[in-house]
Amino acid sequence: MVTHGRSFIIRDPVWNSIRLDALAAAIIDTPAFQRLRYIRQLGLAHLVYPGATHTRFDHALGVYHLAERAIRILKAGPPVPAEVWEGARLIPYAALLHDIGHYPFSHAIEELDPATIAADHEQAGARFFESEEMSAALAPLGENAHEEISRIITGRGENALRGLVSGSLDLDKMEYLRRDARFCGVPYGEVDVEHLLQGLVPLEDPATGKWEVGIRAKAIGTLESLLFAKYQMFRSVYWHHGVRAATGFYKRIVEVALAARLVSPSELIGPTDEQLLHELGRRARACPGEVAARLADRWLPALRNRRLPKRAVEIRAWQLEGRALPDWVGGETAGKRRWEDALAAELDLEPGEVILDFPVKTAMFQLEVLVDRPGRPVRRLGREGIPGLIDLPKLAEELYRTARVLRLFTFERRPLDPDWVLKRLAEGPGAGGRDRAVQPTTQVETSDVGE
């Protein structure tokens, strides 16, 4: 059995001081956890917001800190059945380990076609739990602790407090919104985390009789502010055009490398950001052929030097009302690639050098939480809201449409007419060719934030 032997305090720019107990200290000393120091929290957002170089390591410590605090607050509240606290000891460690399986540059790879990658980051975490060092660090928690921690992280199991790690009120959101805003230098993610924590309470689901973490009615206003902060961060940071250009570029590099068998899906699990880029470059340079040369000589150097794809067209989702878009527009499919490559040929670009981006986040305003209302029955807050208490869920679809933007990126500047592109989308994959007339335009909507 391996233990660190002592607790200690880490100074943090967001939460000031984070106290790690001896077991948490042993966990962070493992190679699997130290790897998170080299996985950027916001992927390639630092190419637009230079301060966004914070990591999954920083974030994980913050979520652990909030989990410890949340449990203390819950235990100081009204008495509840002893069963609620069964497994409570595991919650801070699940919070600490919730991102252990992240791919290089965080979520970008998970946007690829699921058939082309090994697993999402939560499933990939199982590989790191099985390492000798992590198994030894977790041994004091019991023989099957890592399996229960994995269930908590993925929102499964019977732990009544698992919602603190995976759910509508998970501490992950509270942490990343504030940390991301701080390091990007924007005010949008400032949420009254203390008031939200004080509003947490264990509640019994009237439908099932099971206990879970809910919220007091007095904290609903703060919950609304958290959801608005999330919307603003998606609109201004996570889905900023420069961030999406860099993310799309990186995804294309990885996708082409997978298709060319320069790397296997399982090899994407484990490297750090820089390790993956270095290895892709090394293998591409050692491999003959046009695709490998394009990666080694054009694409990877361009990404490193911030020569990002340019916006050819930008259309906000609300402007698409009344237009039927193909289902594949928001995904990453072979049909979408055929459409992009047909357009690339018309624009005298190489295959892969047109990127259609229409990000999807259907759970942006996920609200499935029990609400404790004084003098009234506990009620589950869903998408319909609770009249007179919280109506934000009714606005969720409209806010989501406002945040989403359909963009067409080209590796060399090619301004195009939006209506022409939409017509081409309606025609579907395989349409087009070099004999079709390209419709240029200079009417490209731009943002005044970043490049």
* Helices of type H across 6-80: 22-28, 31-34, 56-75
pLDDT for 431: 54
Determine, yes or no, domain membership for 319: no
**214-269 pLDDT per residue, tens:** 999 999 889 888 888 998 999 999 999 999 999 999 999 999 999 999 999 999 99
Note whether residue 258 is domain-resident.
no
Spatial distance between the Cα atoms of 254 and 280, rounded to a whole number of angstroms? 8
Could you tell me which of 176, 181, 215 has the C-alpha nearest to residue 195?
Answer: 215
* Domain-embedded: residue 295: no
Are 295 and 257 within 8 A, CB to CB? yes
Q: Tens of pLDDT along 136-185?
A: 999 999 988 889 999 999 888 889 999 999 888 889 999 999 999 999 99
Q: Are 432 and 345 contacting, i.e. CB atoms less than 8 angstroms apart?
A: yes
Answer whether residue 159 is part of any domain.
Answer: yes
By the 8 A CB rule, do 32 and 82 touch? no
Structure tokens at 221: 């206003």
Name the token pair of 139: 């041994």
Residue by residue, pLDDT tens for the chain (451 residues) are 344 567 889 999 999 999 999 999 999 999 999 999 999 999 999 999 999 999 999 999 999 999 999 999 999 999 999 999 999 999 999 999 999 999 999 889 989 988 888 777 777 788 888 889 999 999 999 988 889 999 999 888 889 999 999 888 889 999 999 999 999 999 988 889 999 999 999 999 999 999 999 999 999 889 888 888 998 999 999 999 999 999 999 999 999 999 999 999 999 999 999 999 999 999 999 999 999 999 999 999 999 999 999 999 999 988 888 888 888 898 888 889 999 999 999 999 999 999 999 998 877 777 788 999 888 899 888 767 776 666 666 677 778 888 899 999 999 999 899 999 999 998 887 654 444 445 555 443 433 333 3
Q: What tokens does 266 get?
A: 């399982």
Distance between start and end Cα atoms, the chain: 51
Show Cβ contacts of residue 6 under 8 Å, excluding neighbours closer than 6 positions.
22, 25
Residues 6+ apart with CB under 8 A from 326: 335, 425, 426, 428
Rounded to whole angstroms, the Cα distance separating 381 from 215 reads 10
Cα 378 to Cα 387: distance, rounded to the nearest angstrom: 14
Beta carbons of 390 and 224 less than 8 angstroms apart: yes
Contacts of 423 (CB under 8 A, 6+ apart): none
Dist. CA 420–CA 408, nearest whole Å: 12
Residue 393 pLDDT:
63
Share of the chain above pLDDT 70, in %: 92
The verdict on residue 81 lying in a domain is yes
Give a yes or no: residue 48 inside a domain. Answer: yes
Query: Strand 405-410's sheet: what is its strand order?
Result: 310-316, 405-410, 354-357
SS3 of 280, please? Answer: helix
- Distance, CA of 406 to CA of 395 (rounded, Å): 21
Counted domains in the chain: 1
Half-sphere exposure of 329 (CA within 13 A, CB side): 20
CATH at residue 97 = 1.10.3210.10
Is residue 421 in a domain? Answer: no
**Does any domain span residue 165?**
yes
Tokens of 263: 């790397």
Q: What is the mean pLDDT of the chain?
A: 89
Cβ distance 193 to 66 under 8 Å? yes
Domain membership of residue 230 as a residue range: 8-239
Question: Facing residues of 310 across strands?
Answer: 410
